[in-house]
Structure 1
């Protein structure tokens, strides 16, 4: 009986690395169960036919043409370890061939949600500004330091988008007994109700919220849809917290709304990253800034490797992937997020 060689995995996870997304123990399992061929994203098409012909799994989402896919008859799954589903391959061909496209992006949901909660609490209680004042000897004690303070508990909260991140955010907010409204045109109202939130229009979320969290993915339909008109509808003094991608927002209009004192804001994402040193948002009072670091915890990265191994094990046994989130044929080509460049 001829012993078959281990399945072949094409590793092209840039900007991630295998050491980043696998613990040493998990990496040993990967290297024991599979043969690994490493390639830069742009060099996949240049691999030999006999190599591409044996690839069962791709870790990463390198650009793939129809011609390159035709040379990969054994391919079963593309395991995206970036988090963004990128419009860089012919999804119609992948789906017609029954090739799965999955993402490990849900590992970021909990850490991003926790940072979003921290931002909301900071805005509500002025924690960072109070610390800076204390360091510089101009602190205000007791009630004098709470002139602008408010409670998150019992507040009217709006969430725009209710995927993995929206659900995680709703969980971390649950202890604060918030009155939470959600706008997500891709989500059936019954699912929102099952999560204890109120299905709402975008106008209702904007006009009836003390805190608004934006966790929507960028699609072909919603780029810059939160514009000057949207910010003008918000309650005076409301907090706008951007956690997903900057391209869902007209960033200039957001800064203008903060500058005139209509709202306050916080963001973990920006139109350009890294942000130019002379960008006006760096000096904008009433704007809390974080350098796209909300999800980038080592513990989150390492969960990616565990998810990849579990799903490849399932597929090795002719079962569908269940740990990662599968791309849907109806929506994947509508995603418009830019590839990440920094882990």
Structure 2
């Protein structure tokens, strides 16, 4: 039987917040934040993880607010959660708080707006975490520490992978100079790298000065002139989905190191796989079009690339800040205030 953690269960006069599925790493940080909701709302956490739609509906049947800890919410499920019914019994969820930033990958925002469901997310909670993971991936590409460690443990005292590459003096091209991209830029400069970033109309001019990145107006020029290309563009429907095209990737010169810790969907479908299959671009990826990565995905069989299971954001510090923002969003909702609102119910 699934373990349940509840606060103020006797306060049936208070609205109910339910988290129907949770990652183990989020449990303790979230519990630590819940005193903020004392006398505001009672909270019920189901201490397991599920993507079963019927079970999610059952667990949130009486909830006013749902915390979405990762399951993808289909359109049918969103209807059922909000009381729009379609496909089964409906609930009464008026606000969904997403445990992350890229909510567009998990919830149909246009449908949520149509159904009158507020959607909140968390922002900048993982800037340091993802930036640090970006460099973990980059360092694996240039020094192969993981592979060499496995070799030594297996009795191989040699370097079959060849000499490493030095980051100092190399040029890093950043696509997306937001909170994470700016943090990556500062770390890169500490390594002695030359840093440039794509300048878009959404990027404040002062951000380039603050991060030490040289602005480049043409994306193809940025890609072609860089030794390392790192993607940090958020996924925004109608703006960044498929923004990086096959033509852009064609400007990667052989040997360029390519990293994506942002969202796979910001790249034109199929374009990255096609470019990597040529075999001349070492790459490291933490995000994919389909997650978990299917067993037959061609990325699994391309030599020279490093794959991690979308864990760039998962650190102790990121979980603390993430859960703080989640609870603050809930408190704001019940107070009639707006915080991190991606879709308004009004």
- With normalisation by structure 1, the TM-score equals 0.71
Other-structure match for 1:209? 226
- The verdict on how the C-alpha distance between 1:6 and 1:16 changes in structure 2, with shifts beyond 3 A counting, is farther
Q: What is aligned with 1:271? A: 289
Consecutive unaligned residues in structure 2, runs of 5 or more:
1-10, 47-54, 85-90
Matched position secondary structure for 2:17 = strand
Q: Give how far 1:206 is off.
A: 0.9
The RMSD of aligned alpha carbons is 4.0
The answer as to 2:304 corresponding to 1:296 is no
Secondary structure in 2 matching 1:11: strand
Larger mean Cα displacement after TM superposition, 106-115 or 187-196: 187-196
Tell me how far apart the structure 2 counterparts of residues 157 and 250 of structure 1 sit (CA, whole Å). 22
Residue deviations 1:65-96 (CA, integer Å, cap 9, x gap): 99859xx9996x653224332324443786xx
Contact 1:8 1:34 (8 Å CA) reproduced: yes
2:34 maps to: 27
Distance 1:17 1:129 in 2: 29
* 2:113 matched residue in structure 1: 91
1:180 match: 195
Structure-2 separation of matches of 1:269 and 1:311: 26
Matched, 1:284 2:292: no
For 2:43 and 2:25, the matched residues in 1 are separated by 11
Moved more, 312-321 or 158-167: 312-321
Cα distance in 2 for partners of 1:293, 1:307 equals 19
CA contact (8 A) 2:79 2:115 kept: no
Q: Is the 8 A contact 2:82 2:115 kept in 1?
A: no
**Greater CA deviation, 303-312 or 106-115?**
303-312
Query: d(CA) in 1 for partners of 2:25 and 2:131?
Result: 26
Q: Secondary structure at the match of 1:173?
A: helix
- For 1:178 and 1:10, the matched residues in 2 are separated by 47
- Look up the match of 1:134: 152
Change (3 A) 1:212 1:44: same
Please give the alpha-carbon distance, in whole angstroms, between the structure 1 residues aligned to 2:134 and 2:312. Answer: 8
In the alignment, which residue of structure 1 is the partner of 2:7?
Answer: none
Measure how far apart 1:320 and its partner are. 5.0
Q: Is the 8 A contact 2:174 2:229 kept in 1?
A: yes
CA deviations over 1:77-129 (Å, ceiling 9, x no partner): 653224332324443786xxxx9643125323322211111111121223233
Evaluate the alpha carbon distance shift between residue 27 and residue 90 of structure 1 in structure 2; reply closer, same or farther with a 3 A threshold: closer
Choose the corresponding residue for 1:161, options 160, 176, 198: 176
2:97 to 79, 84, 100: 79
The Cα of 1:238 is off from its aligned counterpart by 0.5
State the shift of 1:136 in Å.
Answer: 4.5
**2:329, 2:121 → 1: CA distance?**
11
SS at structure 1 position matched to 2:312: coil
Q: Which residue of 1 aligns with 2:122?
A: 104
Q: 1:42 to 1:199 in 2, by over 3 A?
A: farther
SS at match of 2:172: strand
What SS does structure 1 have at the residue aligned with 2:195? strand
Which residue does 2:87 correspond to in 1? none
- Report the Cα distance in structure 1 between the residues aligned to 2:40 and 2:331, rounded to whole angstroms: 9
Query: Would the alpha carbon gap of residues 134 and 209 (structure 1) be closer, same or farther in structure 2, given more than 3 Å must change?
Result: same
Q: Could you tell me how far apart the structure 2 residues matched to 1:252 and 1:74 are?
A: 36
- Secondary structure at 2:279 match in 1: coil
CA change 1:279–1:139 in 2 (3 A) is farther
